[in-house]
Amino acid sequence: MKLLDGKLASQAIKEELRLSVAQRVAEGKKVPHLAAILIGNNGASATYVAAKVKACEETGFKSTLIKFEDTISEESLLAKINELNYDLDIDGILVQLPLPSHIAEEKIITAIDPEKDVDGFHPINLGRMVQGQASFIPATPYGIMLLLEHFKVDTTGKHAVVIGRSNIVGRPLSILLSANTKPGNCTVTLCHSKTKELSSHCQQADIIVAALGKAEFLKADMVKEGAIVIDVGITRVTDNTKKSGFRLLGDVHFETVSKKCEWITPVPGGVGPMTIAALLKNTFQACVKRS
């Protein structure tokens, strides 16, 4: 078993970006600037945003964190996004999800200028990605592809099973894995809550991506020897022995599944850091494209 270490891979990407930003500074060019909007007091969301801001600092990016109470109106949030769309100094905009129930997520996502949509959720960017055109790829699927690339994992001709069909992870990743690229060129089966005999599909897979949000769902008896397992899930589980009062579990039962794998991602420290690295790469490209 070998670890697909997201901390290691993301650090390499951040160092590459740091050198590129330093070169831009030396040439008198614009530094990438990311604007992040955080709504409410969700602990997990605050942690994610803080990690993104810290990553910006480490790579020499500028960042602006905009906080709102969860009582903010949809109209006010849309007005702020519109303001950022026209701000020439801002290269990338992200709105941390999930949003309060009174705000329509789809409306907020489509309000962001596609050229600043560094999370890659806008329908225009998703459409470009499907057609193999240049676009901002959703950060988590992009991060997974970068992780496979960093560790030189050969995916060509392999059967990949993706569990989860969200527009944020499952669907875009299934497209990326099936694309005529490296990594890529997989035969992909996209599974979900209505899939019959899910275990049977998984048992035939060379690559399994678990992205369904159920702690330790994927068990050892669902995985064949020598598989590559990518765990996207992260769930907080109460643990009074921890100072924080909780521990983090992925969608994979790591202790048993890891014994059968060729490669596996840990949780935490696997896909999470790569999502941030991909976000930074998208922001850098947005800056280069605009200046």
**Axis crossing angle, helix 6-26 with helix 271-290, rounded to the nearest 10:** 20
Domains and CATH numbers, the chain: 28-114 (3.40.50.10860), 139-271 (3.40.50.720)
Query: Which secondary structure element, helix H or strand E, spans residue 279, and what is its range?
Result: helix 271-290
Q: Determine which one of 5, 14, 52, 231 is catalytic.
A: 52
Q: Determine which one of 119, 206, 231, 251 is catalytic.
A: 119
pLDDT at 240: 80
Residues 6+ apart with CB under 8 A from 255: none
Read off the DSSP letter of residue 94: E
**Residue 119 is among the residues annotated as catalytic for this protein:** yes
Question: What is the Cα–Cα distance from 264 to 209, expressed in whole angstroms?
Answer: 10
pLDDT at 243: 78
pLDDT at 248: 86
Residue 24 contacts residue 284 (beta carbons within 8 Å):
no
pLDDT at 163: 98
Q: What six digits make up the tokens of 21?
A: 């930003």
Stretches in the chain below the pLDDT threshold 70: none
Is pTM beyond 0.85? Reply is yes
- Counting beta carbons within 10 angstroms of the beta carbon of residue 163, is it exposed (0 to 12), middle (13 to 18) or buried (19 or more)? buried
Q: What six digits make up the tokens of 36?
A: 């992040």
DSSP 120-187: --SHHHHHHHHTT-S----HHHHHHHHHHHHTT---TT-EEEEE---TTTHHHHHHHHHSSSSS---E
Nearest to 215 by CA among 228, 232, 240, 192: 232
**Residue 260 is among the residues annotated as catalytic for this protein:** no
Q: What is the Rg, in whole angstroms, of the alpha carbon atoms belonging to the chain?
A: 19
SS3 93: strand
**Residue 107 is among the residues annotated as catalytic for this protein:** no
Question: What is the Cα–Cα distance from 236 to 50, expressed in whole angstroms?
Answer: 18
Q: What six digits make up the tokens of 241?
A: 């022995």
pLDDT at 238: 77
pLDDT at 260: 97
DSSP 7-53: HHHHHHHHHHHHHHHHHHHHTTPPPPEEEEEEES--HHHHHHHHHHH
- State pLDDT tens for residues 117-173: 999 999 999 999 999 999 999 999 999 999 999 999 999 999 999 999 999 999 999
Q: Determine which one of 14, 62, 96, 206 is catalytic.
A: 96
pLDDT at 189: 98
